[in-house]
Amino acid sequence: MGTVCVQPGVLMASADTFELVIKGKGGHGATPQLTVDPIVIGSQYVNQLQTLVSRESSPLEPLVISVCTFHAGETENVIPNQAILRGTVRTTNETTRMKIPKRMEQLL
């Protein structure tokens, strides 16, 4: 308290949050072929998000995409109807900041 930090250039990154609801078609775990499993879709998506960081952004431009919650299902033998993912995107570049939400949607 009572201290101010000033420096040339970037001091802190933006902190944008996201929530994604993946709607599938649940069913019994013994018959996954009759479902559209939002857990499998969400898992693939989490992996694909990392390509935005490693393959589409410059290593000289900081970018972090973190999925911090992944909630799906309530029991061990039922594939749920939906999965909810929440997380944060952090960057120091406004152009990157504006581009990422659209790319996240395109990946999905």
With CA atoms as reference, report the closest residue to 67 among 36, 39, 45.
45
Q: Is 46 helix (H, G, I), strand (E, B) or coil?
A: helix
Residue 42 clears pLDDT 90, i.e. is over it? yes
* pLDDT number for residue 19: 97
Distance between CA atoms of residues 36 and 87, nearest Å: 23
pLDDT on residue 65:
97
Topology of 16-107 in CATH? Answer: Alpha-Beta Plaits (3.30.70)
Contacts of 18 (CB under 8 A, 6+ apart): 85, 86, 87, 88, 89, 101, 104
pLDDT at residue 98 tops 90:
yes
How far apart CA 72 and CA 80 sit, in angstroms, is: 6
Question: What is the pTM for the complete model shown?
Answer: 0.86
- pLDDT reported for residue 31: 97
The two tokens of residue 50 are: 């990392």
